[in-house]
């Protein structure tokens, strides 16, 4: 479950893979479109409501993954 989500996040960020300790804002592709893509992913496949405000609070991939899989 977690690996699958990490793969999907990596796809959105256009990198081969992500590590849970990576900082979200360090990714070159981190912008409002990436944010919306992640919000849509959380909604459609995990039924979780993410917002831009919440995303801003998440520092690392780990924070994001924990929220989505919680």
Partner 1 sequence: MHLKFKNKRISGILSILPSKEVNFIDEITNYNFSEKQSVKLGKIMGYGSRRIVHNGTTVSDLCTFGLNYLFDNNLLNKDSFQALILCTQSPDHFIPATSNIIAGNLMLNEDIICLDINQGCAGFEVGLMQAFMMLDTGAINRVVLLNADILSTKVSVKDRNSRPLIGDGASITIIENSIVDETIDLFIKMDGSGALSLQIPAGGFKMPSSAETASLKEDAAGNVRSLDHLVMKGDQVFNFVQTKVPELFNEMLVKLNISKSFFDYFFFHQPNRFMLEKLADKLEISYEKMPNNICEKYGNGSNNTVPLAICDNLGGKVKNENFEVCLGGFGVGLTWSLVKCKLGNLNFCEIINYK
Sites of contact with partner 1 (CB under 8 A): 31-33, 35-37, 39-40, 43-44, 49-52
Nearer to partner 1, 19 or 23 (CB): 23
Least distance CB 50 / partner 1 (angstroms):
8
Alpha carbon distance 37, 31 (integer Å): 10
Alpha carbon distance 49, 15 (integer Å): 24
Least distance CB 13 / partner 1 (angstroms):
12
Element (H, E) at 42: helix 32-46
Nearer to partner 1, 6 or 36 (CB): 36
């Amino acid at each position: 479950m977690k690996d699958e989500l990490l793969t999907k996040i990596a796809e959105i960020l256009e990198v081969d893979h992500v590590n849970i300790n990576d900082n979200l804002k360090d990714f070159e592709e981190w912008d409002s479109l990436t944010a919306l893509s992640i919000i849509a992913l959380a909604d459609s496949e995990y039924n979780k409501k993410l917002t831009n405000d919440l995303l801003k609070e998440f520092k690392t991939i780990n924070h994001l993954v924990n929220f989505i899989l919680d």
